[in-house]
Amino acid sequence: MSTLVILISGRGSNMLALLEAKLPVDNIFVISNNPNAEGLKTAAKMGIQTICIDHRIFPNRSAYDTALADEMDRLKPDLIALAGFMRILTDDFVLRYQYRLMNIHPSLLPAFPGLYTHRRVLKEGVKIHGCTVHFVTPTVDHGPIVIQAAVPVFAHDTDKALAERVLQQEHQIYPQAVRWFLQGRLNFSDNMVTISDATTHNSVIYSPELQK
């Protein structure tokens, strides 16, 4: 039986996109480091088993990640999907679940890793922005890329408007990437991901605005 674990810290909009995608998986669990995360309530209402491991009760990052790893080993996930999980995981945790730990980032990696991507994109005058699903490695936001989506940046854009446009694409590509993984269609070679039985265009999605 296949198992997906989704890690969240807040409202869990990407979590919801995954839960609504009817993925080919037998068991789904949602775990949060924040007992007040809205996503926990959303998942529970959908009949998904939720777990809270509150990071505030642990003395340091390593102790928290050890407890999180213990829970992972109990659940035995095929894939761990970070969906707005606002913690940097320790190298030990990342390497323990190498190639089973996926994340979505609101930029076209390797450009603009880290936080405040939309603000930084606007400041730099970038014309095309987007989002990336990638596998997590010890180097933050630099893991093997699975799929990306691009959106235009308009002259009148604000952080909020741009974030909303990117988020719409996140909700499309994250379920697609997870589905490919669960179908066994992702292959790894030299820090590159290829997709079995896919055309060269299947790993990139362009928003409708870019095609006008």
Terminal-to-terminal C-alpha distance of the chain: 44
Q: Do residues 122 and 66 share a domain? A: no
- Do 91 and 110 have their domain in common? no
Q: Let me know whether 86 and 157 are in one domain.
A: no
pLDDT tens figures, 134-148: 999 999 999 999 999
**Same-domain pairing of 208 and 108:** yes
Of the residues 57, 72, 97, the one at which a domain ends: 97
Domain count, the chain: 2
Same domain, yes or no, for 56 and 126? no
Nearest in space to 18 (alpha carbons), one of 37, 41, 38, 43: 43
Q: Does residue 209 surpass a pLDDT of 50?
A: yes
Q: What is the DSSP string of 28-62?
A: EEEEES-TT-HHHHHHHHTT-EEEE--GGGSSSHH
How does DSSP assign 100-123, residue by residue? SEEEEESSSTTSS-SS-HHHHHHH
- DSSP-assigned beta bridge partners for residue 186: 195
Same domain, 40 and 144: no
Residues for the chain: how many in total? 212
Non-local CB neighbours of 38 within 8 Å, separated by 6+ positions: 10, 11, 12
Q: Is the pLDDT reported for residue 47 higher than 50?
A: yes
State the pTM of this model. Answer: 0.93
Final residue before a domain boundary, out of 97, 115, 145: 97
Residues 59 and 138 in one domain: no
Q: What is the pLDDT of residues 1-29, one digit of tens each?
A: 899 999 999 999 999 999 999 999 999 99
Whether residue 126 sits in one domain with residue 73: no
- Categorize the per-residue pLDDT at 152 as very low, low, confident or very high, splitting at 50, 70 and 90: very high
End residue of a domain, out of 73, 97, 121: 97
**Nearest CA to 83 among 36, 32, 48?**
32
- Name the DSSP class of 12: -
- Cα gap 168→156, rounded to integer Å: 19
Q: What is the pLDDT of residue 208?
A: 56
- Catalytic residue positions? 105
- HSE on the CB side for 82, CA within 13 Å? 26
142 with 88, same domain? no
Range(s) of the domain holding residue 111: 104-212
26 and 124 in a common domain:
no
**Cβ(102)–Cβ(23) under 8 Å?**
no
- Predicted local distance difference test score (pLDDT) of residue 126: 96
The amino acid present at 163, given as its one-letter code, is A
Q: Cα dist. 42→28, 62, 68, 113, 204 in Å?
A: 14, 29, 21, 29, 30
Residue 133 and residue 87 share a domain? no
pLDDT tens-digit series, residues 102-122: 999 999 999 999 999 999 999
Other CB atoms within a 10 A radius of the CB of residue 103 amount to: 26
Do residue 1 and residue 83 come from a single domain? yes
Average pLDDT of every residue of the chain? 94
Q: Residue 110 maps to which CATH number? A: 3.40.50.170
Compute the average pLDDT of residues 92-108. 98
